[in-house]
Structure 1
Amino acid sequence: MTVEILDRAILADVKQPPMRNLAAPAAGVLGRIGNLETRLARNNSEIDAAQAVRYKVFVEEMKAQIPQAADRRKRDADAWDLVCDHLLVLDTAIDGDPEDQIVGTYRLLRQDVAENTGGFYSASEFRVDSLLKRHPAKRFMELGRSCVLPQYRTKRTVELLWQGNWAYALKYGVDAMFGCGSFPGTVPEEHALALSFLHHNALVGADWDVSARPELFRTMDLMPSEAINMRKALAALPPLIKGYMRLGAMVGNGAVVDHAFRTTDVLIVLPITSISGRYLNYYGADAGRFAAQVS
């Protein structure tokens, strides 16, 4: 299947994006739709609140297993939180402090920061080192720990998260983004349709080749391409992964089962040059001025 056909198929499955509020952004705000806005966490209290949202989603909802100390605090937290930037989605209609308004979050880690600290989180599952070595002149950014509270899992929330990522990437001259995309559960075969669809239609090309670590590798090629119903496969994709595919992302070779978080992970790879032109145009109207808000 060509990229053009895949793009048309995904777009046919998605309604027209909502109109965005293009009023001048408040200081630090990277995007706004209605009462929702996205920006970076400004202090430790907001990072703590983001960790609380992650706990509600990953532990209370998805039954992830985390260290006892973090569980007692009801926070999903690890060492990467100290070096990452934290992108937030806030519902400004909620009364209270900003910490009370956080309804979604994303963790952003630039390559220069990763190289000077503990490396990339996803390197524990995928061979990202080989990808980085193949592109020594490019600047990479890892996206991780994405989660949104159940009542806010809408297209506009996903769109805001992407707009924040895009403004951040522009600010720091990022050439490519990558990160784990997750399916619920630890049995890849339960997602045979969606995983096979990704394997046959969105697998990384030679220049961007990256695969799961050999000792963790689980095949995504679970169904022949001729047996795949594209409509059903698209419907079976988690919203975040579908959103990435819509932008022009690829997936690495092989899945990994994360037993602690009870997920089946694939590696999403999104070179900036691969982003569909229609989305560059859509965000381009105000991406530059929002990027200027990144501090």
Structure 2
Amino acid sequence: MAEPQTSLQSAPNTRGTRRLTVRLARDAQDLAAVQRLRWQVFFAEMGAAQILCSEHDAPTPGLDSDAYDAVCDHLLVIDEGAPEDIQVVGTYRLLRESVARGAGGFYSAGEFDLSPLIASAQPGRELLELGRSCVLPAYRTSATIQLLWRGIADYIGQHSIGALFGCASFPGIDPDAHAEALSCLAHHHLAPVECRPVVKDGVALERLPRGSYDERRALFLLPPLVKGYMRVGAQFGDGAYIDHAFNTVDVCVLMPVEAIAGRYASRFSVAA
């Protein structure tokens, strides 16, 4: 994997016997730990299916990996007090625009047309794609999330990031099961058309007419990660992608850097 361009200062946090820190992956051993964590969450817990693209792309049992892992930075939350084989308990994969150009594009471009977003980017500022976010069940607490977002906020400042985006997932591959929540996003939370990604081969977000569903219930039914993004002013692309391999329905999320730097970074840095 590519060496991280910068190192992130570890921020200790204590919860019982836990000693949580955040940093970027440093070597192949860190990357393997990330891939084991992702396999445990995406495949063992959520039911993703490892699909072979070719005889040269066979997955390693117990690891979630793809070609992007070698060029991305990987943000890790580590429990320094845990046994060595389970120390990495949370992660985000970070892909900067300048790196994506040399890697054939962003990962999300396989699901969404990102050309409006790329064309609207601020001159001299990079887009940052967030992906492969996961946390072990026992660590799905505010402390872990605070550290992940502190790490992202530090990374934003170090790399002149102008906007964040990525895919967020609803469980399962039946969009009708999420009709209320998807309709709520379409009616109230779409990104401006001039920067709005559009699904390439999926379904419309708007599935129910306004007034035909309970909007409070729809907000309650949103996945926790989507609700977290919305709290910092996230907006969404047009359409949802059915990802059969990962057993999810994906939406494209856009987040302004100012919201992260203002509402999350300062509050979470203090809390962490």
When normalised by structure 1's length, the TM-score is: 0.80
SS at match of 1:90: strand
- Residue number among 22, 46, 51 corresponding to 1:62 in the alignment: 46
- Residue number among 79, 82, 107 corresponding to 2:93 in the alignment: 107
- Residue number among 94, 97, 102 corresponding to 1:116 in the alignment: 102
For 1:91, give the aligned amino acid. D
User: Could you say if the C-alpha distance between residues 283 and 208 of structure 1 is closer, same or farther in structure 2, counting changes exceeding 3 Å?
Assistant: farther
User: Could you say if the C-alpha distance between residues 262 and 282 of structure 1 is closer, same or farther in structure 2, counting changes exceeding 3 Å?
Assistant: same
TM-fit CA distance, 1:203: 0.7
User: Could you say if the C-alpha distance between residues 206 and 275 of structure 1 is closer, same or farther in structure 2, counting changes exceeding 3 Å?
Assistant: farther
TM-fit CA distance, 1:70: 5.3
More strand by share: 2
- 1:77 correspondence with 2:85: no
Deviations 1:179-235 (A, max 9, x none): 00000110111011111111112110134222111xx13011122232343432222
1:29 matched residue in structure 2: 9
For 1:146, give the aligned amino acid. S
User: Could you say if the C-alpha distance between residues 112 and 276 of structure 1 is closer, same or farther in structure 2, counting changes exceeding 3 Å?
Assistant: closer
Contact 1:30 1:163 in 2 (8 A): no
More helix by share: 1
Q: Distance in 2 between matches of 1:112 and 1:127?
A: 18
SS at match of 2:198: coil
User: Could you say if the C-alpha distance between residues 136 and 281 of structure 1 is closer, same or farther in structure 2, counting changes exceeding 3 Å?
Assistant: closer
SS at match of 1:226: coil
TM-fit CA distance, 1:246: 0.6
- 1:224 correspondence with 2:206: no
Contact 2:116 2:195 in 1 (8 A): no
1:46 matched residue in structure 2: 30
TM-fit CA distance, 1:166: 1.3
Q: Distance in 2 between matches of 1:40 and 1:153?
A: 19
Contact 1:158 1:243 in 2 (8 A): no
SS at match of 1:29: coil
User: Could you say if the C-alpha distance between residues 276 and 191 of structure 1 is closer, same or farther in structure 2, counting changes exceeding 3 Å?
Assistant: farther
2:238 matched residue in structure 1: 253
- 1:148 correspondence with 2:135: yes
Structure 2: any 5+ residue segments left out of the alignment? 1-6
SS at match of 2:161: coil
User: Could you say if the C-alpha distance between residues 176 and 116 of structure 1 is closer, same or farther in structure 2, counting changes exceeding 3 Å?
Assistant: same
Deviations 1:243-285 (A, max 9, x none): 1111111110100000111100000001213558443542576
User: Could you say if the C-alpha distance between residues 40 and 250 of structure 1 is closer, same or farther in structure 2, counting changes exceeding 3 Å?
Assistant: same
Q: Distance in 2 between matches of 1:251 and 1:208?
A: 10
State how 1:10-21 maps to structure 2 within 5 Å: none
Aligned length: 257
For 2:13, give the aligned amino acid. I
- 1:212 correspondence with 2:207: no
RMSD value, Cα: 2.3
1:87 matched residue in structure 2: 75
Q: Distance in 2 between matches of 1:172 and 1:257?
A: 32
Q: Distance in 2 between matches of 1:193 and 1:156?
A: 30
TM-fit CA distance, 1:67: 4.3
Contact 1:249 1:275 in 2 (8 A): no
For 2:232, give the aligned amino acid. L
